[in-house]
């Protein structure tokens, strides 16, 4: 993910539903945790899936503590470092990642309540990883220059840098009168199982109804996504929301149709139409096809800029579908941190989605095994 953040840090809302006055009608709005702010970090890849996991607990009626995104981020830095060293520096090492990284890290390392691990050291109140990431990468490059062999304790030095910038996470902690480790907390309190989620995409340069490793720079861990025709992907997204589940969404937000300032993302035929003072939710939009979407991806126009959380669905007065999307830029925009994304924008700009397996119809469960 690119580092996309607000210039000014904004406070988080104490909300569990989408607050809006956009005139969308017949909405299905699923509950979500409070809007967060990733601040000056490229860690949206963690905020979206974490919010989805929290929504799953809300849906199931389980305990819903605020989960620390930074605990997961820290663990993924370590995973990236191991990958970078084994690949002798011929791999991606920066702040980005994809949705499967967050899910896999929660399964492998567990979870910690946010109030117990903020990723901030004493004296710091704002998340910013640019300098730390630079130091981490320089450290790894210096280790690689010593080969062969590299020092067997190189992870100790890497961990020291993480502790300096992000603080040391708890190995165990008290929660509601009981002692947990991050792994037992994830299992017993959050009821989390990484195998409960499925990863989907839609690109025609690979066979449909098979998995492939999606070719974007932040897929450092070579995660596989099940490839579906575009209409199938759209149908699953809409069905998932209407069943009461939510979706982690990886998309391009650098194209002209994305306008968080007015709370809408669309694919208008006339590019300037979206930037008018009054938004016409039924303005003519471009026709998005599998072929047109593929061309933008292969031309490097559509990229994995940002990862968010789809929590609802609504309709314009004339019936156009909009996905209701929870962002991680604080309360920015007219809808307090949420964005209304048209079906056309979703179709044109989606890189991948993460969906709870339980939301899938029987035919998809059978195909996905």
Where are the extended beta strands (E) located within 150-210? 173-175, 178-180, 197-201
**Is 12 a domain residue?**
no
Cβ neighbours, 10 Å, residue 348:
26
**Is 7 a domain residue?**
no
**pTM for the predicted model, two decimal places:** 0.93
Q: Report whether pLDDT(8) > 70.
A: no
**Is 246 a domain residue?**
yes
Nearest in space to 5 (alpha carbons), one of 263, 328, 238, 318: 328
**Is 173 a domain residue?**
yes
Provide the token pair at 300: 């490097």
Q: How confident is the model at residue 273 (pLDDT cuts 50, 70, 90)?
A: confident
Q: How far apart are the first and last CA of the chain?
A: 29
pLDDT of residue 10: 33
Angstrom distance (rounded) from CA 186 to CA 106: 8
307-340 pLDDT per residue, tens: 999 999 999 999 999 999 999 999 999 999 999 9
331-364 pLDDT per residue, tens: 999 999 999 999 999 999 999 999 999 999 998 8
177-212 pLDDT per residue, tens: 999 999 999 999 999 999 999 999 999 999 999 999
**Is 33 a domain residue?**
yes
CATH number of the domain residue 202 falls in: 3.90.70.10
Angstrom distance (rounded) from CA 29 to CA 10: 24
**Is 3 a domain residue?**
no
Angstrom distance (rounded) from CA 132 to CA 229: 40
Q: How many domains does the chain have?
A: 1
SS percent in the chain: helix, strand, coil, step 5: 35, 20, 45
pLDDT of residue 20: 55
- Angle (nearest 5°) at CA 19 between 16 and 22: 150
**Is 231 a domain residue?**
yes
Give CA separation, 358 vs 203, 241, 265, in Å.
Answer: 24, 12, 28
**Is 62 a domain residue?**
yes
Angstrom distance (rounded) from CA 47 to CA 49: 6
Q: Can you give the residue range of the structural domain that contains 209?
A: 25-368
């Amino acid at each position: 993910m690119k580092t996309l953040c607000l210039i000014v840090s904004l406070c988080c809302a104490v909300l569990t539903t989408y607050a809006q006055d956009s005139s969308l009608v017949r909405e299905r709005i699923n509950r979500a945790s409070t809007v967060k702010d990733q601040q000056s970090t490229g860690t949206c890849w963690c905020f979206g899936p974490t919010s989805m996991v929290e929504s799953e607990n809300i849906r199931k009626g389980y305990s819903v503590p605020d989960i620390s995104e930074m605990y997961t981020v820290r663990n993924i830095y370590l995973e990236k470092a191991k990958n970078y060293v084994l690949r002798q520096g011929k791999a991606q090492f920066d702040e980005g990642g994809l949705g499967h990284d967050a899910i896999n890290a929660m399964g492998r390392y567990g979870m910690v309540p946010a109030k117990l691990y903020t990723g901030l050291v004493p004296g710091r109140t704002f998340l910013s990883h640019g300098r730390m990431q630079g130091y981490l990468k320089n450290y790894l490059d210096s280790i690689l220059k010593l080969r062969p062999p590299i020092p067997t304790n190189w992870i100790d030095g890497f961990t020291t840098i993480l502790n300096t910038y992000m603080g040391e996470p708890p190995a165990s902690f008290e929660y509601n009168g009981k002692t947990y480790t991050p792994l037992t907390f994830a299992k017993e309190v959050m009821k989390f199982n990484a195998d409960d989620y499925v990863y989907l995409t839609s690109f025609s340069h690979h066979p449909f109804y098979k998995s492939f490793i999606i070719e974007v720079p932040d897929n450092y861990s070579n995660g596989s996504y099940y490839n579906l025709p575009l209409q199938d992907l759209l149908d699953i997204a809409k069905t998932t929301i209407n069943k009461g589940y939510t979706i982690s969404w990886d998309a391009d937000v650098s194209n002209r149709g994305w306008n968080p300032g007015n709370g809408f993302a669309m694919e208008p035929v006339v590019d300037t139409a979206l930037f008018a003072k009054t938004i016409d939710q039924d303005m003519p939009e471009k026709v998005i096809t599998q072929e047109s979407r593929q061309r933008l991806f292969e031309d490097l126009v559509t990229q994995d800029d940002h990862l968010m959380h789809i929590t609802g669905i609504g309709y314009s007065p004339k019936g156009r579908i909009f996905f209701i999307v929870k962002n991680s830029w604080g309360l920015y925009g007219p809808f307090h941190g949420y964005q209304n994304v048209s079906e056309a924008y979703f179709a044109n700009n989606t890189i991948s989605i993460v969906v709870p397996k339980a939301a899938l119809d029987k035919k998809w469960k059978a195909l996905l095994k």
